[in-house]
Structure 1
């Protein structure tokens, strides 16, 4: 039987998230593999997969905050807000040269915090049932509505002049649903010279870091898997169960809480043997299961 667990992969450039899932299915010998948020083929970095019953954790991983490093090219805007699109406009080299570090930090500050962001037109957001990027490729004009996102950090790491452009190395910490391509576009617009993304690397998803990820080409799935209980401990507060409570939860029964009102939101319910029984929430006066895990989950 294939073990259940969470797999951290360092996706190389050129691979789609679907490619990574398909390869992992072959390596793990199971069809039950899913991912917690796509990465564009151009992007590299942390891709989180769930195998077997641990796919049930992916819903909760998708919504956590993320960290990226990226290269933004100032002085040029494109149809896709990244290097894969056609150039829409190019600023005069003198205008690019006139941009100062203070200017960049000022606009970065405007794009930091709780902001309203218009996603890139080539995003996977559905418009009347069809992906926005599919409509763009079909020649349609797509206008997406702004949506609230949170950019916790937008840091300038370095600047490099390149053939009339200015390349910025940046670090971004943000909420789920934030488009780094849109940040590149809006930074360029705010500076009046245009901008687009030329490189993107996801370095963290919630508590999981790319430094702990395996290489997609060489990973040994069996040894690289994070057991579901360990993954849940990293993601949620923990409720340690006694043996009877573990049995009761497994049968769908509610269990009483200790004195006081526990924190809201999902908690990881761990059996005395270290097994993840499920995810639970405090409802009224007792804990109620919201996701159960099979008793044979390793």
Structure 2
């Protein structure tokens, strides 16, 4: 793997296929680009597909700064069965008959609408949540009992897309807060309905402001490499949801050395506002305004590509 500068410094989104972990995708990107400086934001389960944000080179420093506070999914819930993993990857542990009423639109619409709102949710036992320094799924796979603390989440919207009476499934569109587990929604809903439920299909439609239309496929990446990424660059300023400031030529040198300077803003900002410093289509750094000066939080020795504003 390349240990020097990366061939590109950029954020892009990939439509993750099912059957791969998010780390598997990162490994494929590393092989295609010949660099180890690749990471991802917002893990997707192996059985799930859809939007996965990837950072390469200097852009890996942005992954922990992305808020991606809301995510949208299309999910299929299979009624009548609970599994060890709360999805189709696990073993069946409980079954119950599904009443015909639950496969009628009036009842299903009522229950789906009832999902909307703030609530406390316990993550699945088979999840990447850290417990005592170990991942929950590792503890569960070892056959040990695990009690995970609940977390506060919000379901902003829930829509019923389809019912399949023969398969006893509901297909839903869900708009949820960061950290929400769709598998837990299915598990808890099934328990409430008295028939159990698990996820049989899950596709992430959006992650923050990034949607499937912004994604390239793994096949496109492996066929066209850098050209495919450059055709699908994410604007790092937009992804970070920051104010931007285009550097003048005479401001580049102090910025390069991390020296505070007085910006020539065309508008006023409050103290402690984060500002994305841009130059000729690249993100040069993320600085903070103190009322007079902007001061360096982080600089990017190789500018991050894709700035459109």
* TM-score, length basis structure 1: 0.89
Distance in 2 (CA, whole Å) between partners of 1:228 and 1:246 is 24
In the alignment, what sits opposite 1:274? 281
Question: How do residues 103-118 of structure 1 correspond to structure 2 at under 5 angstroms?
Answer: 103-118=107-122
In the alignment, what sits opposite 1:170? 172
Give 1:264 deviation, angstroms: 6.3
* Equivalent position SS for 1:55: helix
In the alignment, what sits opposite 2:258? 252
Give 1:71 deviation, angstroms: 0.6
| Aligned partner of 2:194 among 192, 198, 212 | 192
Runs of 4+ in 1 over 6 A off after TM superposition: none
Give 1:126 deviation, angstroms: 1.3
In the alignment, what sits opposite 1:56? 61
Question: How do residues 28-47 of structure 1 correspond to structure 2 at under 5 angstroms?
Answer: 28-47=33-52
Question: How do residues 1-298 of structure 1 correspond to structure 2 at under 5 angstroms?
Answer: 2-61=7-66, 63-93=68-98, 95=99, 97-99=100-102, 100-163=104-167, 166-219=168-221, 220-225=224-229, 230-236=235-241, 237-256=243-262, 258=265, 260-262=268-270, 266-271=274-279, 273-295=280-302
Distance in 1 (CA, whole Å) between partners of 2:114 and 2:292 is 44
* Equivalent position SS for 1:136: helix
Tell me: CA distance 1:239–1:229, structure 2 relative to 1, closer, same or farther (3 Å). Answer: farther
Gaps of 5+ in 1: none
Tell me: CA distance 1:297–1:112, structure 2 relative to 1, closer, same or farther (3 Å). Answer: closer
The more displaced of 218-227 and 8-17 is 218-227
* Equivalent position SS for 2:165: strand
Aligned 8 A contact 2:183 2:199 in 1: yes
Q: Cα RMSD (Å) of the superposition? A: 2.3
Give 1:207 deviation, angstroms: 1.9
Aligned 8 A contact 1:103 1:191 in 2: no
